[in-house]
Structure 1
Amino acid sequence: MINNVTLVGRLTAKPELKFTPANKAVASFTLAVNRQFKTQDGKREADFINCIVWGQSAENLANWNDKGSLIGVVGRIQTRNYENQQGQRVYVTEVLVGSWQKLEFGQNQGNNQGQQAPQQQAPTTGYNQNPFGNTSPMDISESDLPF
């Protein structure tokens, strides 16, 4: 079976970071994802997708992002249910995030209070680093090429 989700959207609010009794971090957030098409009146609608992320990734997401941050997430759809205080069965569908990436960096990005965001260096994950290290261009003549 395949259960894989990739989303790009903006956080609707600062991620809510909590800790379990076993001190495991969990962050919940809602991602606003624009639809590909516009309505008849020319407006673009969005879907608001609930997401959950666990562990160190949850702490990093909550510490490095705010309302309006543009992020990409990869995860899987998860459904669960519970009985609320009125005795009704409530069903919840959410994305369980396996990995995420901040897609936009800027001074006031994600900060709707008009305050300047702190200048911080985002943690590096190694994905954008040169896999061949610091190499210089090769000195190859055309006669060395096989074509």
Structure 2
Amino acid sequence: MNIIAPVSTLMSTRLITVNPDDNLEAVKTHFDEHSIHHIPVVRYKKIVGIISSADFNHFLRGFTRNEQDSLLESVRLRAWKAEDIMTKKLAKVEVSDPIRTALEVFKTNRIHALPVEENGELVGIITTYDVICALAEEEIKLEDYNR
């Protein structure tokens, strides 16, 4: 992996997002139906927050799985909005920033996802998973291995 390449070479652009006013039932649906761990919260193409699966699970903690609790969970999910649990103070990178910048932000802040912007608008997301996949796909050169 070339760490001076732009983050655009690794970022995901097929984003699943929610609006700050969307209820948490919509957030739950996205987490349940897609294999994702972060949902950007967007208003007019601008990122205003992010909800991680850990944030969401923290919100749900304390519920057991009997019929009455299931009803209470459903009511709670419809009553709360994405903006109520999203992380608001976000680290972000620009589409042209080098991957090295994203790695430094991940390391320093111990986060796992970074929104990627271009001209102030959300255009992608880069995650530690993206970095791991890129590293795992690299070819191992025998001469490098024998050193």
- Asked if these proteins are the same fold (TM beyond 0.5), I'd say no
Range of TM-score over shorter length: under 0.3
Larger Rg: 1
TM-score (norm: length of structure 1): 0.23
TM-score (norm: length of structure 2): 0.23
- Name the structure where helix makes up a greater proportion of residues: 2
